[in-house]
């Protein structure tokens, strides 16, 4: 079974969930606001994508952080910020078997499920 991490009110997350439903792919949706990912999840995703790709610097959560927290980032600091502020995660994140996909892209989702 696939797991989709995101926000209930995020348009891209809703598109991703609809894409999965339309193809009859069972999945669990995890709202990161209600169920923040653990350190192991974040470490796994950083391993897949790198911390720079995983960190959403366009949202209001990022802009509301004090400059001292946004400056001089490295993997350890970024991981700490992502655990503290899960809304900083780029989304959605799809985990399906051995595939993990960041963002929503129908072609990459098809590859993850070989459809």
Active site residue 10: yes
Q: Mind listing the pLDDT tens digit for each residue in 32-91? A: 999 999 999 999 999 999 999 999 999 999 999 999 999 989 999 999 999 999 999 999
Which range of residues forms the domain containing residue 82? Answer: 2-113
- Confidence tier at 114 by pLDDT (50, 70, 90): confident
CATH of the domain at 39: 3.40.30.10
Please count the structural domains in the chain: 1
* Total-model pTM: 0.93
10, 13, 48, 68: which is the annotated catalytic residue? 10
DSSP-assigned letters across all residues of the chain: -EEEEE-TT-HHHHHHHHHHHHTT--EEEEETTTS---HHHHHHHHHHH-HHHHB--SSHHHHHS-HHHHSS--HHHHHHHHHH-GGGB-S-EEEETTEEEES--HHHHHHHHT-
């Amino acid at each position: 079974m696939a797991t989709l991490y995101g926000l209930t009110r995020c348009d891209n997350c809703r598109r991703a969930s609809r894409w999965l439903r339309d193809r009859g792919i069972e999945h669990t949706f995890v709202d990161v606001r209600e169920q923040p990912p653990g350190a192991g999840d974040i470490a796994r995703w950083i391993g897949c994508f790198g911390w720079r790709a995983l960190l959403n610097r366009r949202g209001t959560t990022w802009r509301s952080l004090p400059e001292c927290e946004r400056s001089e980032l490295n993997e350890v600091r970024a991981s700490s910020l992502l655990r503290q502020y899960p809304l900083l995660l780029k989304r959605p994140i799809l985990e399906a078997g051995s595939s993990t996909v960041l963002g929503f892209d129908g072609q990459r989702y098809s590859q993850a499920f070989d459809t």
